[in-house]
Amino acid sequence: MIWILYNLCFPVILLLMLPYFLFRMCRRGGYAKGFLQRVGWHDAALKAKIRERPRVWIHAVSVGETYVALRFMEEWRRVQPEVAFVMSVNTSTARVLAEKSLNPEDALVYFPLDFLPAVRRVLNLIRPVMLVLTECEFWPNLIRQAKVRNCPVLLINGRMSDRSFRGYSRFSWLFSPVLRLVDCLCVQGDRDRQRYLALGVAPECVLVTGSAKYDVALKDPGSSEQAALILKTAGMSATDLILLGGSTWPGEEDALLDYFTEARQRHPGLKLVLVPRHAERREEVVGAIQRRGLLFIQRSTGRTEQEHACPDVLLVDTTGELKHLYTAATVIFVGKSLIQHGGQNIIEPAACGKPVVVGPNMENFADITDEFMAGGGLIQVADGAGLVRALDELLDDASRRADIGNRAMALVLKNCGSLTITVQRAKQLSPL
């Protein structure tokens, strides 16, 4: 009865939300390529490639989950070279990242709508030997139809934010039966484990592995050189005082720009690098910079308002370069934490040994934030005034910057190893 009700309601809800989805697709761009894959249609060449050999289907929603999925695939292939994957993503930015990094033997598709005919069509095409979901993706039809085909289902790097827990609890009549179909949930921390247990998952099915983002965050040996090149192209230097706003959301660029406008008088040579979470907001951020009369350069175009002028601000409106720029920053603010809610990944900049500042709203990374705060590897502020004080103190004190950065890096190294445990569990479930 539950499944009948879900499949009757889902198409209606989809139709009601279609204008919103179309607006987001047009705004973000990049969705035209492979759009029909969202309803289960694939071209002949892709079908032929997928059918060449048995494959594990791994799904990642956006950029953060894609990094985890790629690293998981790399670790599994290290211990079992013959394993092959189909990777699915939801966003165009994640697709761009996956296209650059995916092993040539693997296949890439857009994730289908959880509409029963589309899900069946894709499962019949892929015929996965295992379904791997990343972080918090529980689509009822996909999971149920996978189990109908005797396909093991594994969750990796699982988490359960406050908001998600409230939502799943409200609709427990639907999601509890779905969660009980998952063979194993590898979760980040004990708080996540307790929430899955509260939703009816059997204790033996939940394994605490730690966060895979620690493994993903390990510094790329070429990042420093890449960052230096990006800054040089923008008329900046890695020796400058660099305040970097990473994965910023609306309102946070304004806070950083206001701070920078008055703080550069106190901190000569200070430069600001802004990396919005969504590159399509570039015009909005450009407007905010222009209103303050600051000289800037836009990474995607290389254009400045005044030719040969030394810019105050670098706007990075590209994908995949933030992880490199973290290595060159003096102080880092990680967004979606001051005005917006949820937080973004603080492990990546911490792995570079840099001092990181966040706002009060880190709900999606609560356990990680608590550990970093306890270990002295993070500064969390309550509001904009607190942000100003924290940034000033860090820019004034190189020894404090180094101490916080070293503590942060030590915490990253201490917590690595989640993916090794996860791959061992995946191999136990897999028929390969």
Confidence at residue 237, expressed as pLDDT on a 0 to 100 scale: 82
What does the DSSP assignment read for 330-382?
SEEEESSSSSSSS----HHHHTTT--EEE-S--GGGHHHHHHHHHTT--EE-S
Confidence at residue 308, expressed as pLDDT on a 0 to 100 scale: 55
Q: Which residues contact 256 (CB under 8 A, 6 or more apart)?
A: 243, 245, 248, 272, 274, 333
Confidence at residue 16, expressed as pLDDT on a 0 to 100 scale: 64
Domain ranges of the chain: 26-217+417-429, 223-415
**pLDDT tens, position by position, 216-257:** 887 677 888 999 999 998 888 878 899 999 999 999 999 999
What does the DSSP assignment read for 302-313?
TEESSTTPPPSE
Confidence at residue 32, expressed as pLDDT on a 0 to 100 scale: 58
**pLDDT tens, position by position, 388-404:** 999 999 999 999 999 99
At 268, list the tokens. 């000569």
Q: Which residues contact 199 (CB under 8 A, 6 or more apart)?
A: 165, 168, 169, 172, 175, 176, 179
Distances (CA, A) of 203 to 199, 229, 255, 402: 11, 50, 44, 42
Confidence at residue 282, expressed as pLDDT on a 0 to 100 scale: 92
CATH architecture classification, 223-415: 3-Layer(aba) Sandwich (3.40)
Give the predicted TM-score (pTM) of the model. 0.82
Confidence at residue 325, expressed as pLDDT on a 0 to 100 scale: 95
Confidence at residue 336, expressed as pLDDT on a 0 to 100 scale: 96
**Tokens 């539950």 sit on residue:** 2
Rounded Cα distance between 371 and 220, Å, is 24
> 26-217+417-429, what's its fold?
Rossmann fold (3.40.50)
SS3 at position 298: strand
Confidence at residue 31, expressed as pLDDT on a 0 to 100 scale: 56
Confidence at residue 143, expressed as pLDDT on a 0 to 100 scale: 96
At 404, list the tokens. 């916080």
Confidence at residue 283, expressed as pLDDT on a 0 to 100 scale: 93
pLDDT < 50 stretches in the chain: none
By DSSP bridging, strand 270-276 and strand 241-248 are parallel
Rounded to 10 degrees, the C-alpha dihedral 261/361/63/191 comes to: 160
